[in-house]
Amino acid sequence: MAYTLDKIRNVVLLGHGGEGKTSLVESLLFMTGGTDRQGRTTDGNTVCDFDAEEIKRQISIQLALAPVEFKGNIINFIDTPGYFDFEGEVAQAMRVADAGVIVVSAKNGCAVGTEKAWKNVTKHKLPAFFYISKVDEENADFDKAYESLRDAFGHGVTPFVIPLFDANGKSEGVINLLSQTVYKSEGGKITEHPIPDNKKEKVENLRNALIESVAESSEELMEKYFEGEEFTDEEILTGLRQGVLNGDVHPVVCGSAFTGLGTMDLLRAIINFAPA
C-alpha cells in the first residue's frame, strides 16, 4: 500500500539501556497485526534484535526499523541502542526522525540515558513524547518516575495517559485523560471501561491541566477559556498539537509492553500530535 507524505511519520525510540524500547516495538507490531506473536528479548526472538550478538547479550547494538500501520498511517519506529557504546547508531536515527519517544522505566525514572535522549531531541528540535514503561511490574512507581521527568525537563512534561491501580496497589489498567476512558487487559484483549468514581476527581484535575495547555496555544482559545466556554474536541486536539509542535507540551503515555496496555494510546498520540 502506498502512503502519501502526510500519512508517514518517522519516530525514533530513545532512552537508557534496558528501559523497554525493543519490547515496546514488539507490542506495537503485535497489537496492530504486524506480527502474529509477540517476541521477548529474553527469548531472543524480537523483530529488532536479530543479530547474533544482540540475542546473546539481550541488548540492542544497532538501530532497527519497524514499520507500524495504524488507521491509514504508517509510523516507522526506529529502535535505537540505549547503551552509550553505540551512540553512533542513535546519531544516524536522529537525522531522519520527525519526532522522538523517550522510553523511561517506571522502576527507575529519569536516568543518564534519559537526559542524553532529551539532549538529542532538543538539539534536533524534535517534538518529544515520553513513554513510561513497566507500570505493572514489581517496584514500579509511576508517580515518582513522572515527577523525575518533570523535575528534569520542566512543566511541559504533561500526562496524557496514567495508570490505574486497585486498593492493593495492583495494576488494573490505564486511563486516557483525553477520551476519559479506562483500558484494561482482559483475556489477551484490551477492553474499555468507565472511570471509577474514586478516580474521577484526579482525572478531572489532570484533564483541566491539559485544557490549560490548549488555551495557551492561541489568543483565540485563551479568550474562549477565560470566558468560561468549553473547547470542542477538535479545538482540544488542535491546541495540543500546536503545543507539541512548538515544544511547549511533551505528552506522557504509560503502559506495559507485555499486556499491551498503553500501546494503542501511544499510537493515537503520535497520529494526533506528531508531525508527518
Mean pLDDT of 189-207: 96
The yes-or-no verdict on residue 153 having pLDDT over 80 is yes
Given a cut of 70, whether residue 141 has pLDDT beyond it is yes
Say which residue, 106 or 46, is predicted with more confidence. Answer: 106
Q: Over 80: is that where the pLDDT of 194 sits?
A: yes
Q: What is the pTM of this model?
A: 0.93
Segment among 39-48, 66-75, 185-194, 202-211 with least mean pLDDT? 39-48
Assess whether pLDDT exceeds 80 at residue 42.
Answer: no
- Angstrom CA distances, 116 to 15, 47, 55, 105, 112, stand at 8, 25, 25, 15, 6
Residue 188 confidence (pLDDT) above 90: no
Top mean-pLDDT range of 52-56, 112-116, 188-192: 112-116
- Residue range 191-203: average pLDDT? 96
Model pLDDT, residue 159: 98
Whether 56 has a pLDDT exceeding 90, the answer reads no
Q: pLDDT tens across 225-238, in order?
A: 999 999 999 999 99
Percent of residues, the chain, with pLDDT higher than 90: 82
Question: Rounded mean pLDDT of 257-268?
Answer: 97
Confidence band of 52 (pLDDT split at 50, 70, 90): low
Residue recorded with cell 546473546:
56
Say what the pLDDT of residue 55 is.
Answer: 66
Q: At what angle do helices 233-246 and 263-273 cross, to 10 degrees?
A: 80
What are 269's three cell numbers? 498520540
Crossing angle for the helix pair 233-246 and 200-215, nearest 10 degrees? 70
Mean pLDDT (the chain) is: 93
Domains of the chain: 8-168+249-273 (3.40.50.300)
- Find, among 201, 104, 96, the residue nearest to 153 by Cα: 104
Q: Which residues of 209-222 are buried (b: 16+ CB within 10 A; e: fewer)?
A: ebbebbbbbeeebe
